[in-house]
Amino acid sequence: MTKSPPSTKPMEFNPNNPIVKLCIQGMGMEEKNKSEDASRLFLQAWDEATNDFEKYIAAFYVARHQENVPDKLKWLETTLQFALRINDDSVKGAFSSLYLNIAKCYEDLNDLDNAKKNNDLAVSFKEQLFDTGPFYHGTKADLGIGDLLTAGSRSNYKTEVIMNHIYFTALINGAGLAAALAKGEGRERVYIIEPTGSFENDPNVTNKKFPGNPTRSYRSQEPLKIVGEITDWVRQTPEQLKEWRERLANNKGEIIN
Protein backbone atom coordinates (compact mmCIF):
# COMPACT_ATOMS: atom_id res chain seq x y z
CA MET A 1 0.00 0.00 0.00
CA THR A 2 1.37 3.41 -0.99
CA LYS A 3 1.45 5.80 1.95
CA SER A 4 0.20 9.35 1.54
CA PRO A 5 1.44 12.27 3.64
CA PRO A 6 -0.88 13.14 6.54
CA SER A 7 -3.77 15.41 5.64
CA THR A 8 -3.35 19.02 6.75
CA LYS A 9 -6.78 20.40 5.87
CA PRO A 10 -10.37 19.12 5.66
CA MET A 11 -11.33 17.23 2.52
CA GLU A 12 -14.54 18.45 0.96
CA PHE A 13 -16.78 15.84 -0.62
CA ASN A 14 -17.24 16.51 -4.33
CA PRO A 15 -19.61 14.32 -6.41
CA ASN A 16 -17.68 15.33 -9.54
CA ASN A 17 -14.40 14.01 -8.14
CA PRO A 18 -13.19 11.22 -10.51
CA ILE A 19 -12.70 8.74 -7.65
CA VAL A 20 -16.16 9.44 -6.25
CA LYS A 21 -17.56 9.04 -9.78
CA LEU A 22 -15.91 5.62 -10.11
CA CYS A 23 -17.45 4.58 -6.79
CA ILE A 24 -20.87 5.81 -7.92
CA GLN A 25 -20.47 3.75 -11.11
CA GLY A 26 -19.53 0.76 -8.96
CA MET A 27 -22.65 1.21 -6.85
CA GLY A 28 -24.66 1.26 -10.07
CA MET A 29 -23.15 -2.11 -10.97
CA GLU A 30 -24.06 -3.42 -7.51
CA GLU A 31 -27.68 -2.38 -8.06
CA LYS A 32 -27.63 -4.42 -11.29
CA ASN A 33 -26.16 -7.41 -9.42
CA LYS A 34 -22.94 -7.13 -11.44
CA SER A 35 -20.60 -7.77 -8.53
CA GLU A 36 -17.45 -8.42 -10.58
CA ASP A 37 -17.87 -5.17 -12.53
CA ALA A 38 -18.48 -3.30 -9.27
CA SER A 39 -15.39 -4.80 -7.67
CA ARG A 40 -13.27 -3.87 -10.71
CA LEU A 41 -14.45 -0.24 -10.54
CA PHE A 42 -13.75 0.01 -6.81
CA LEU A 43 -10.24 -1.40 -7.25
CA GLN A 44 -9.68 1.07 -10.09
CA ALA A 45 -10.77 3.86 -7.75
CA TRP A 46 -8.27 2.63 -5.14
CA ASP A 47 -5.44 2.44 -7.67
CA GLU A 48 -6.17 5.95 -9.03
CA ALA A 49 -6.79 7.66 -5.67
CA THR A 50 -4.27 10.40 -4.96
CA ASN A 51 -5.06 11.60 -1.43
CA ASP A 52 -6.20 10.27 1.93
CA PHE A 53 -9.88 11.10 1.41
CA GLU A 54 -10.03 9.34 -1.97
CA LYS A 55 -8.16 6.32 -0.53
CA TYR A 56 -10.61 6.21 2.39
CA ILE A 57 -13.67 6.22 0.13
CA ALA A 58 -12.25 3.64 -2.30
CA ALA A 59 -11.02 1.27 0.43
CA PHE A 60 -14.48 1.24 2.01
CA TYR A 61 -16.00 -0.16 -1.17
CA VAL A 62 -13.17 -2.58 -1.86
CA ALA A 63 -13.72 -3.97 1.65
CA ARG A 64 -17.30 -4.97 1.07
CA HIS A 65 -16.40 -7.00 -2.00
CA GLN A 66 -13.94 -9.26 -0.19
CA GLU A 67 -14.97 -12.90 -0.11
CA ASN A 68 -13.14 -13.97 3.06
CA VAL A 69 -13.01 -12.43 6.52
CA PRO A 70 -9.24 -11.76 6.77
CA ASP A 71 -9.26 -9.80 3.50
CA LYS A 72 -12.38 -7.88 4.52
CA LEU A 73 -10.77 -7.05 7.87
CA LYS A 74 -7.59 -5.85 6.13
CA TRP A 75 -9.53 -3.46 3.90
CA LEU A 76 -11.79 -2.23 6.71
CA GLU A 77 -8.72 -1.45 8.82
CA THR A 78 -7.19 0.31 5.81
CA THR A 79 -10.37 2.39 5.53
CA LEU A 80 -10.18 3.23 9.22
CA GLN A 81 -6.48 4.10 8.94
CA PHE A 82 -7.20 6.74 6.32
CA ALA A 83 -10.25 8.01 8.21
CA LEU A 84 -8.09 8.52 11.30
CA ARG A 85 -5.42 10.29 9.24
CA ILE A 86 -8.02 12.69 7.87
CA ASN A 87 -9.74 13.04 11.27
CA ASP A 88 -12.13 15.83 10.35
CA ASP A 89 -15.88 16.28 10.23
CA SER A 90 -16.12 14.75 6.75
CA VAL A 91 -15.27 11.29 8.12
CA LYS A 92 -16.01 11.22 11.85
CA GLY A 93 -19.58 10.10 11.26
CA ALA A 94 -18.22 6.83 9.86
CA PHE A 95 -16.16 5.82 12.90
CA SER A 96 -18.96 4.00 14.74
CA SER A 97 -19.98 1.82 11.79
CA LEU A 98 -16.35 1.14 10.83
CA TYR A 99 -15.47 -0.05 14.32
CA LEU A 100 -18.66 -2.15 14.41
CA ASN A 101 -17.82 -3.88 11.12
CA ILE A 102 -14.24 -4.48 12.25
CA ALA A 103 -15.57 -5.96 15.50
CA LYS A 104 -17.79 -8.33 13.51
CA CYS A 105 -14.75 -9.55 11.57
CA TYR A 106 -12.86 -10.26 14.79
CA GLU A 107 -15.90 -12.13 16.14
CA ASP A 108 -15.95 -14.28 13.00
CA LEU A 109 -12.23 -14.95 13.53
CA ASN A 110 -12.91 -15.85 17.20
CA ASP A 111 -10.67 -13.02 18.41
CA LEU A 112 -13.01 -11.92 21.18
CA ASP A 113 -10.64 -9.43 22.83
CA ASN A 114 -10.27 -7.36 19.68
CA ALA A 115 -13.97 -7.78 18.96
CA LYS A 116 -14.86 -6.29 22.36
CA LYS A 117 -12.34 -3.47 21.98
CA ASN A 118 -13.78 -2.42 18.63
CA ASN A 119 -17.39 -2.82 19.80
CA ASP A 120 -16.61 -0.50 22.71
CA LEU A 121 -15.09 2.04 20.31
CA ALA A 122 -18.17 1.79 18.09
CA VAL A 123 -20.43 2.60 21.05
CA SER A 124 -18.23 5.54 22.08
CA PHE A 125 -18.69 7.18 18.67
CA LYS A 126 -22.36 6.31 18.12
CA GLU A 127 -24.59 9.28 17.33
CA GLN A 128 -21.96 11.80 18.35
CA LEU A 129 -22.01 15.07 16.41
CA PHE A 130 -18.61 16.66 15.99
CA ASP A 131 -19.38 19.37 13.45
CA THR A 132 -19.26 22.96 14.69
CA GLY A 133 -19.89 24.61 11.31
CA PRO A 134 -20.15 27.24 9.97
CA PHE A 135 -23.41 25.99 8.45
CA TYR A 136 -25.26 26.91 5.26
CA HIS A 137 -28.70 26.55 3.69
CA GLY A 138 -29.33 26.77 -0.05
CA THR A 139 -32.63 28.05 -1.43
CA LYS A 140 -34.23 30.39 -3.97
CA ALA A 141 -36.18 32.26 -1.29
CA ASP A 142 -35.36 35.95 -0.82
CA LEU A 143 -34.69 36.29 2.91
CA GLY A 144 -32.85 38.65 5.23
CA ILE A 145 -30.53 38.62 8.20
CA GLY A 146 -32.42 37.51 11.31
CA ASP A 147 -35.13 35.64 9.40
CA LEU A 148 -35.89 32.09 10.49
CA LEU A 149 -35.98 29.02 8.26
CA THR A 150 -38.51 26.51 9.61
CA ALA A 151 -39.71 22.99 8.94
CA GLY A 152 -43.04 22.35 7.24
CA SER A 153 -42.19 23.07 3.60
CA ARG A 154 -42.71 20.64 0.73
CA SER A 155 -39.71 18.54 -0.23
CA ASN A 156 -37.71 19.77 -3.21
CA TYR A 157 -37.38 16.16 -4.31
CA LYS A 158 -40.80 14.67 -3.54
CA THR A 159 -43.39 17.45 -3.60
CA GLU A 160 -46.04 15.28 -1.95
CA VAL A 161 -43.93 15.13 1.24
CA ILE A 162 -44.23 17.86 3.89
CA MET A 163 -40.87 18.00 5.65
CA ASN A 164 -40.77 17.61 9.43
CA HIS A 165 -37.25 19.04 9.57
CA ILE A 166 -35.26 21.89 8.07
CA TYR A 167 -32.03 20.77 6.41
CA PHE A 168 -28.59 22.37 6.20
CA THR A 169 -24.94 21.55 5.53
CA ALA A 170 -21.44 22.60 6.50
CA LEU A 171 -20.32 22.56 2.84
CA ILE A 172 -20.80 25.80 0.90
CA ASN A 173 -20.83 24.00 -2.44
CA GLY A 174 -23.38 21.49 -1.13
CA ALA A 175 -25.66 24.35 -0.14
CA GLY A 176 -25.08 25.87 -3.58
CA LEU A 177 -26.22 22.63 -5.23
CA ALA A 178 -29.31 22.58 -3.00
CA ALA A 179 -30.06 26.16 -4.07
CA ALA A 180 -29.73 25.23 -7.75
CA LEU A 181 -32.12 22.29 -7.31
CA ALA A 182 -34.61 24.19 -5.14
CA LYS A 183 -38.08 25.01 -6.43
CA GLY A 184 -38.88 28.57 -7.44
CA GLU A 185 -37.86 31.18 -9.95
CA GLY A 186 -35.71 33.39 -7.73
CA ARG A 187 -31.94 33.54 -7.86
CA GLU A 188 -29.89 30.95 -6.04
CA ARG A 189 -29.12 31.98 -2.47
CA VAL A 190 -26.76 30.44 0.07
CA TYR A 191 -27.36 31.70 3.58
CA ILE A 192 -25.10 31.32 6.58
CA ILE A 193 -27.28 29.93 9.34
CA GLU A 194 -27.16 29.13 13.03
CA PRO A 195 -29.28 26.28 14.46
CA THR A 196 -31.50 27.53 17.28
CA GLY A 197 -31.87 24.06 18.80
CA SER A 198 -30.53 20.54 18.62
CA PHE A 199 -29.79 18.89 15.28
CA GLU A 200 -28.84 15.47 13.94
CA ASN A 201 -27.11 13.81 11.00
CA ASP A 202 -29.40 13.68 7.98
CA PRO A 203 -30.44 9.99 8.02
CA ASN A 204 -31.23 10.13 4.30
CA VAL A 205 -27.52 10.34 3.48
CA THR A 206 -25.56 9.27 6.57
CA ASN A 207 -24.02 5.82 6.12
CA LYS A 208 -26.13 5.25 3.03
CA LYS A 209 -24.29 5.35 -0.29
CA PHE A 210 -21.09 6.69 1.28
CA PRO A 211 -19.55 5.95 4.69
CA GLY A 212 -20.41 8.39 7.44
CA ASN A 213 -21.73 11.81 6.53
CA PRO A 214 -19.19 13.13 3.98
CA THR A 215 -21.63 15.77 2.70
CA ARG A 216 -21.87 17.07 6.30
CA SER A 217 -25.66 17.21 5.98
CA TYR A 218 -27.83 17.81 9.03
CA ARG A 219 -31.42 18.49 9.99
CA SER A 220 -33.34 20.07 12.86
CA GLN A 221 -36.94 20.44 13.97
CA GLU A 222 -36.01 23.83 15.40
CA PRO A 223 -35.66 26.98 13.24
CA LEU A 224 -32.41 28.01 11.59
CA LYS A 225 -31.50 31.67 12.00
CA ILE A 226 -30.00 33.48 9.00
CA VAL A 227 -26.86 35.36 10.04
CA GLY A 228 -25.29 36.10 6.66
CA GLU A 229 -25.17 35.27 2.97
CA ILE A 230 -22.49 33.71 0.73
CA THR A 231 -22.21 34.73 -2.91
CA ASP A 232 -19.12 32.77 -3.96
CA TRP A 233 -19.42 29.02 -4.44
CA VAL A 234 -18.74 26.48 -7.20
CA ARG A 235 -21.70 26.54 -9.57
CA GLN A 236 -22.82 23.37 -11.34
CA THR A 237 -22.71 23.36 -15.13
CA PRO A 238 -26.03 22.93 -17.00
CA GLU A 239 -24.96 19.38 -17.87
CA GLN A 240 -24.20 18.56 -14.23
CA LEU A 241 -27.53 20.00 -13.08
CA LYS A 242 -29.31 17.94 -15.73
CA GLU A 243 -27.60 14.80 -14.39
CA TRP A 244 -28.59 15.67 -10.83
CA ARG A 245 -32.23 16.28 -11.77
CA GLU A 246 -32.37 12.98 -13.68
CA ARG A 247 -30.76 11.16 -10.77
CA LEU A 248 -33.28 12.62 -8.32
CA ALA A 249 -36.20 11.89 -10.66
CA ASN A 250 -35.12 8.23 -10.87
CA ASN A 251 -34.58 7.88 -7.13
CA LYS A 252 -37.23 5.49 -5.86
CA GLY A 253 -36.10 5.56 -2.24
CA GLU A 254 -38.34 6.83 0.51
CA ILE A 255 -37.48 10.03 2.38
CA ILE A 256 -36.78 9.45 6.08
CA ASN A 257 -38.92 12.26 7.44
Hey, which of 28-32, 76-80, 151-155, 231-235 has the most confident mean pLDDT? 76-80
pTM to 2 decimals?
Answer: 0.73
Q: Where in the chain is the domain with CATH 1.25.40.10?
A: 18-125
Q: Which of 128-137, 182-191, 246-255 has the lowest mean pLDDT?
A: 246-255
Tally Cβ neighbours within 10 Å of residue 74: 17
Q: What per-residue confidence (pLDDT) applies to 156?
A: 65
The DSSP code sequence of 71-104 is HHHHHHHHHHHHHHHH-STTTGGGHHHHHHHHHH
* CATH 3.20.170.40 domain span(s) along the chain: 135-249
Note the pLDDT tens digit of each residue in 228-238: 999 999 888 88
CATH architecture of residue range(s) 18-125: Alpha Horseshoe (1.25)
Q: How many angstroms separate the most distant Cα atoms in the chain? A: 60
Rounded CA-CA distance 118/99 in Å is 5
Confidence of residue 254 (pLDDT cuts 50, 70, 90): low
What number is the average pLDDT over the span 41-52? Answer: 96
The residue among 128 and 213 whose pLDDT is bigger is 213
135-249: CATH architecture: Alpha-Beta Barrel (3.20)
Q: How confident is the model at residue 4 (pLDDT cuts 50, 70, 90)?
A: very low
| Whole-number pLDDT of residue 201 | 87
d(CA 102, CA 119): 8
